[in-house]
Structure 1
Amino acid sequence: MKIRDRFARSLRATWYLVAGLRTALPALLGVCLLPLALLLAFGVPGLPWVAGRIRVLTNIERRRAAKVLGHPIREPSTPLHTDPYRQYFALMRSSSVWRDIAWMVVHGFLGLFVPVISVELWIGIPWDLGLPFWWWTLKPGTLGAGAQIYTWPQAIAYPLGMAVFLTVLQLWLQPLLARFQGWYAARLLGPTRRTELAARVESLTETRAQALEAHGAELRRIERDLHDGTQAQLVSAALRLGLADQTFDADPGGARKLMLDARGGIEDALAELRDVIRGIHPPILSDRGLAGAVRSLAAGRPMPVSVEIPDPERRCPAAVEAAAYFVIAEALTNVSKHSGAAHAWVSLRHDGPYLTIRVQDDGRGGADPTAGSGLAGIRRRVAALDGVTRIGARTDGTGTNVEVELPCGL
């Protein structure tokens, strides 16, 4: 790394440490006032308010430390109860609350002390470099540049050597101090291994419930489609054939008409049966792959749909491709029916082990994920595969953005 780059990195680290004063000072003040706050909160539902204010401060530090660490610090879960007294005792037993308080104690002192030392070391460099210009105004033996100065050679050599030493020290020390501050923030503010496992178990439990719900809803849909569609068409065709058989000798023309009607009903039943099969696993996925299936979906929309698939030859498991197909189909159906959009965009890309799907439109926006079954169905189907759904539905006329991440197993 070049000296200029090291110098810039050291300056950024110093600014990071100095900027930490905006959390260190409130943390130190909070440590001083915390006993009083806990005393006032004891026995009354005031502790949730105190814990909430602490969490606001620690969230600021989490976002700040993520810039140095290179990865986000996930916020630990906070127990929530409707009963204020149960909430109080749950917070008192919560390790995340006490870890937030421990960070306030550590950062309140270190976050104040370290930036002062950091800035003082920077100030020491110009101080030492300027010493030869004014040391002679003081009496001999003046302490400067880490040594007592009596002569001109000492006044030139000692400050220059000390300035070089401090500069080299700063290039190494400042990034180290910044990483140290980010390290103890991650250790104290991040979730513990135990809480991560508990959160994972809770997430898997919820995902399993959503998977069972999605599976049950899919079975009910298939049963409804077969009962109300295919079965009704076949029963009607059977009745027409029975009537045709009874009237064939007396009225051949009428019997022929009934047989033709029965054939039309059977053809309709076959079409509906193909739709049901397509709803279970679209044959187009097997024939043309996900890329071809998505382009076919886009071509059948009333508005133009731009499709971006930079890596079509990379295949995912069949369940993932089926989920991706249905997500795009449902999202485009919502765009066609409700958004009033003039254009839509569909993009697929592989981000490591994940398949990321994005469906955007330029419609009126304002889609409510809690209303109706379309977006809720997308969430359930994605959650069943341990995926993530993000829906951005603004009301300012900038459209709706549906983004889905599915684990691709690659």
Structure 2
Amino acid sequence: MEMNRERVRSVVVDGARGLGLAVVSLGGSLALFVLVVVSLALIPAGVGLITTPWVLAGVRVQADRRRVFAAEWCGVRIPAAYRVVPDGAMPWTRTFRMLGDPATWRDLRWLPVDMIAGFVTALLPAALVFYPLEGFALAFGLWRVFTDGTYVGWWYGFVPVSGQGSALLAGLLGVGILVASYFLTPVLLRFHFLLTRAVLAPGSGELAERVRVLTETRRDAVDSSAAELRRIERDLHDGAQARLVAMGMDLGTIEALMEKNPAKARELLARARQSSAEALGELRDLVRGIHPPVLAERGLADAVRALALRMPVPTEVGAELGGGRAEAPVESAAYFAVSEVLTNAVKHSGADRIWVDLRYMEGALRISVTDNGTGGAVVGAGSGLSGVERRLGTFDGVLAVSSPAGGPTMVTMEIPCVLS
């Protein structure tokens, strides 16, 4: 009984989702398609060089949001393979870099498909769930609003409603549609996302594109590693090393003052003890920044929970990893990616609550970070999410962001891996 109730609730939710997708497919994709055409037409005049990057970024947001919904609602993974645009690039550089990206043209081909076929495939599950309500209303007397019983005043499906008898037939047809929705609504919603994947996913050139992306991310990883080594060296030199050198000098002075001035020696000894404690604290912070001990000892889920406890914003963490653990480099990348996303949420979103969800499904570690802030987060333009995307790309991972104006913001990260 409980299972049937959950199934009915799921069907109704899928119908509501289909209705929302139909509105977005028709309205959002149509508006973006018109903006793209106008902006591209204005490139020769120079205006399009400025507007096109913004319009194409909006298209990517629309496509990324659909990728997030596909993964979250129906488990349909739609990989994103956008080429990286350098931060701070001039508008015309961004325009031609984005127009030279095959993923951009897949997005543009998807827009007309989404506003026609996508609209229909999203509307069908919604119609199966909500159209029966009209049949029931007709059966319970709404037919009198449309006819006085002397002529056919309304059609419900293929049933002409002209009186109470035909209205009852309309209600019976509504029952049939409702029963069909129980079985067909989830299938039709999944079909909508499969259609989306057929247009958005990389085609025969996927292998070459992945090689190119992995080459770029490997180069970024090498650069990041070198920069991290320089940071560690600088922190050791300016922090713990300097304190240890000062402590050694203090100990030498203490040795000379032990007999001549015991009071001064005790004062210097206390200062040396304080310096040693501070040096030890700095070393612990440095080690924690390289690889948190809780991550090595207790795994990703507990490490993220410990991270959440240090956040100034209430943060809830849910984890379903099946008791297994990914390889240490994957766990480390996932941990620091979550840390960066949480830091961005605290600094920029204005949220008063954050949710983190970690799951392992279909051979991938999937992490979503959601906040109830003001939205508007984007990948690129110098945002911290660009660094997160590069970090995940080293492991063939992907990042998708859904952040409409006014919020909420959902950042979804996925890393292919095997749990031991």
TM normalised by structure 2 equals 0.51
The 1-side partners of 2:79 and 2:291 are apart by 37
1:395 corresponds in structure 2 to 405
Change beyond 3 A, Cα 1:375–1:238:
farther
Letter in 2 for 1:404: M
Q: Give secondary structure in 1 for the equivalent of 2:320.
A: coil
Once the two structures are overlaid, the 10-residue window that deviates more, 239-248 or 283-292, is: 239-248
The 1-side partners of 2:79 and 2:309 are apart by 41
The 1-side partners of 2:80 and 2:276 are apart by 58
Deviation digits for residues 313-349 of structure 1, max 9, x if unmatched? 1211111111111122222222233322111000001
- Would the aligned equivalents of 2:322 and 2:360 in 1 still touch at CA under 8 Å? no
Change beyond 3 A, Cα 1:376–1:221:
farther
The 2-side partners of 1:189 and 1:343 are apart by 33
Deviation digits for residues 104-139 of structure 1, max 9, x if unmatched? xxxxxxxxxxxxxxxxxxxxxxxxxxxxxxxxxxxx
1:345 matched to 2:355? The reply is yes
What's the offset of the Cα at 1:222? 1.6
Letter in 2 for 1:247: L
Change beyond 3 A, Cα 1:201–1:286:
closer
The 1-side partners of 2:244 and 2:368 are apart by 40
Change beyond 3 A, Cα 1:341–1:275:
same
1:202 corresponds in structure 2 to 212
The 2-side partners of 1:276 and 1:75 are apart by 34
1:212 corresponds in structure 2 to 222
The 1-side partners of 2:266 and 2:358 are apart by 52
Question: Cα RMSD between the aligned structures?
Answer: 4.2
Matches within 5 A, 1:97-108: none
Q: Name which of 296, 300, 303 aligns with 2:306.
A: 296
Once the two structures are overlaid, the 10-residue window that deviates more, 341-350 or 324-333, is: 324-333
The 2-side partners of 1:250 and 1:326 are apart by 53
1:50 corresponds in structure 2 to none
1:327 matched to 2:334? The reply is no
Letter in 2 for 1:329: S
- Would the aligned equivalents of 1:233 and 1:269 in 2 still touch at CA under 8 Å? yes
Deviation digits for residues 243-270 of structure 1, max 9, x if unmatched? 2223333211111111111111111111
Letter in 1 for 2:283: L
- Would the aligned equivalents of 2:214 and 2:394 in 1 still touch at CA under 8 Å? no
Q: Give secondary structure in 2 for the equivalent of 1:227.
A: helix
- Would the aligned equivalents of 1:387 and 1:407 in 2 still touch at CA under 8 Å? yes
2:418 corresponds in structure 1 to 409
Letter in 1 for 2:415: L
Matches within 5 A, 1:135-214: 193=204, 195-214=205-224
Change beyond 3 A, Cα 1:244–1:337:
farther
Deviation digits for residues 155-210 of structure 1, max 9, x if unmatched? xxxxxxxxxxxxxxxxxxxxxxxxxxx99xx7x998664x3332222122112112
1:308 matched to 2:318? The reply is yes
The 2-side partners of 1:332 and 1:76 are apart by 24
The 2-side partners of 1:329 and 1:311 are apart by 19
- Would the aligned equivalents of 1:335 and 1:361 in 2 still touch at CA under 8 Å? yes
Change beyond 3 A, Cα 1:254–1:399:
farther
- Would the aligned equivalents of 2:378 and 2:401 in 1 still touch at CA under 8 Å? no
The 2-side partners of 1:361 and 1:343 are apart by 6
Deviation digits for residues 345-387 of structure 1, max 9, x if unmatched? 0000112111011111112233354355633332222122221
The 2-side partners of 1:226 and 1:237 are apart by 15
What's the offset of the Cα at 1:293? 1.3
Change beyond 3 A, Cα 1:228–1:72:
closer
The 1-side partners of 2:304 and 2:80 are apart by 37
Letter in 2 for 1:313: G
The 2-side partners of 1:306 and 1:377 are apart by 24
The 1-side partners of 2:326 and 2:78 are apart by 30
Letter in 2 for 1:274: R
Deviation digits for residues 17-65 of structure 1, max 9, x if unmatched? xxxxxxxxxxxxxxxxxxxxxxxxxxx9xxxxxxxxxxx9xxxxxx9xx
Q: Give secondary structure in 1 for the equivalent of 2:299.
A: helix
The 2-side partners of 1:77 and 1:365 are apart by 22
The 1-side partners of 2:371 and 2:80 are apart by 32
- Would the aligned equivalents of 1:290 and 1:312 in 2 still touch at CA under 8 Å? no
Q: Give secondary structure in 2 for the equivalent of 1:309.
A: strand
- Would the aligned equivalents of 1:379 and 1:389 in 2 still touch at CA under 8 Å? yes
Q: Give secondary structure in 1 for the equivalent of 2:311.
A: coil
Q: Give secondary structure in 2 for the equivalent of 1:302.
A: coil
Q: Name which of 262, 265, 269 aligns with 1:259.
A: 269
2:287 corresponds in structure 1 to 277
Letter in 1 for 2:384: G
Letter in 1 for 2:416: P
Unpaired runs of at least 5, structure 1:
1-43, 45-55, 57-62, 101-181
- Would the aligned equivalents of 2:213 and 2:393 in 1 still touch at CA under 8 Å? no
2:257 corresponds in structure 1 to 247
> Could you say which structure has the greater relative contact order, defined with CA pairs below 8 angstroms and 6 or more residues apart?
2
1:40 corresponds in structure 2 to none
- Would the aligned equivalents of 1:302 and 1:336 in 2 still touch at CA under 8 Å? yes
What's the offset of the Cα at 1:400? 2.7
Change beyond 3 A, Cα 1:250–1:403:
same
Report % sequence identity.
47
The 2-side partners of 1:360 and 1:368 are apart by 14
- Would the aligned equivalents of 2:341 and 2:369 in 1 still touch at CA under 8 Å? yes
Unpaired runs of at least 5, structure 2:
1-43, 45-58, 60-65, 86-91, 110-193
Q: Give secondary structure in 1 for the equivalent of 2:219.
A: helix
1:227 matched to 2:237? The reply is yes
Change beyond 3 A, Cα 1:283–1:198:
same
Larger Cα-atom Rg? 1
Letter in 2 for 1:323: A
- Would the aligned equivalents of 1:344 and 1:361 in 2 still touch at CA under 8 Å? yes
- Would the aligned equivalents of 1:367 and 1:400 in 2 still touch at CA under 8 Å? yes
The 2-side partners of 1:306 and 1:76 are apart by 31
- Would the aligned equivalents of 1:214 and 1:384 in 2 still touch at CA under 8 Å? no
